[in-house]
Amino acid sequence: MKGVSVMISAIIYSSTTGSCKQYAEKLSAALHIPAFDAKKVYTPKGREVIYVGWLFAGKVVGLEKALQGYDVRAVVQVGMADNAGAEDACREKNGLAADVQVFSLQGRFNLAGLPLPLKLIMKIKTKDIAKRLNAKAAKASLTPAEQACLKMAETGKGEPATWDGVQAVIDWAVARTNPPAVKKWPEV
């Protein structure tokens, strides 16, 4: 992908356990645009960006602030579960317009690395997640993403089933930079 030029100026991310940062760095390397931690952004306000943030109770953390300062063209929501198909729910819960592209990726989980209030909430939440996934596993096979989520819920830490989901974001960004077919003016 040498020399790929995109209209996106930067990738802005908010990360607690490192997943969002890792995805942002993968996007940055593939698209040749900078990635910035939302706390240390060096991109002028109003620019088109991709926002990568972690999910908490259906909200993408830090997205609201990013929407106030940037033209967010795509949102990458990262959670411990495989949230594929949850794009409309993300749009509704986060007040996103229909023209904002939404991607759902599974990230890593580390209960010990969370701030105390989140740690207490997630201790309870992970028990519910493990119970639900174990019940499903008793009836049918779990997908690799569900297996990874179950491990995270039961052990308090773990990696996503794959880091390859970021390719869909790369493909979208590259596709939107391809200029539309230019019609030639008729010969006179």
> DSSP of 13-35, one letter per residue?
EE-SSSHHHHHHHHHHHHHT--E
Residue 2 confidence (pLDDT): 46
Distance CA 23, CA 71 (A): 20
Angstrom CA distances, 110 to 49, 76, 118, stand at 28, 19, 11
Mean pLDDT confidence for 4-13: 78
Mean pLDDT confidence for 48-62: 92
Q: Are strands 48-56 and 59-60 parallel, antiparallel or unpaired?
A: antiparallel
Q: Is the pLDDT of residue 95 over 90?
A: yes
Residue 86 confidence (pLDDT): 82
SS3 140: coil
Distance CA 30, CA 1 (A): 7
Mean pLDDT confidence for 140-167: 93
* Mean residue pLDDT across the chain: 88
